Amino acid sequence: MTSWPLDFFSSTPAFAPVLPYLQRFSQAPLHADWLTVSEPIQTQGGAKIQFVDPDSITEYYELEIYQKGRVATRLNWHDTFNATIWQAYPKTKVALNALHFKAMQADPDSKIRGPVRDAATLFDECGLILPYSRPALLELMVAHQWQTLFVDEAKAWGQEISAFVFGHATLENLLQPFVGLTGKCWPIQVDTDFFCA
């Protein structure tokens, strides 16, 4: 991991949801540093979340989280952003972990993820939450009408449509963006007053 680029995080809108957690550090955080960041997060299995060295876990990744609260966390950008997403969206991360756990319990002998766990993993890694109040804007996205959506409708962003990066792999990729960088979008229709909150 290179230097801790707080100026970059602060000036890049995609990092806004996790910025309050990134700003608590002046350098890349270690495992123990995450214990000081937020209120305790508890899994649906009743365990308190902690970020630990991957070599210390004894169960499959999602099982270790659900049963023991131990999130295998390498000291790299990918896992650091995963830890920040746990802070910014704890209920969603807990729900995704429970989804994995329940799918694994339904077929405990299977080592294959299957469509439910694949979808959960794709959203976890590269998901975007897309609240919108005007359906025509979503239709522009579905139809790949990028010029209209992003240029002609520029004033609608933040007023009638927005995008929140949830995927920690997406945050990592935004450190060095490239043509073709995409996310898995979860559109959610909201009332217009959502954008005033």
Neighbours of 160 (CB within 10 A): 19
Q: What single DSSP character describes residue 17?
A: T
Q: What is the pLDDT of residues 96-109, one digit of tens each?
A: 999 999 998 887 76
Three-state SS at 68: helix
Give me the phi and psi of 180, to 5 degrees please. 100, -5
Read off the pLDDT of residues 48-77 as tens digits, 9 standing for 90 and up.
Answer: 999 999 999 999 999 999 999 999 999 999
> How many whole angstroms separate alpha carbon 93 and alpha carbon 44?
11
Q: Is-contact 167 125, C-beta < 8 A? A: yes
pTM assigned to the model: 0.91
Identify the H or E element spanning 123.
helix 114-126
Confidence class for position 176, pLDDT limits 50, 70, 90: very high
- Do 145 and 88 form a contact (C-beta atoms < 8 A)? no
Question: Cα 176–88–197 angle (5° rounding)?
Answer: 105
Distance, in Å, from the CA atom of 98 to the CA atom of 24, rounded to the nearest integer, reads 28
For residue 72, list its beta bridge partners. Answer: 52
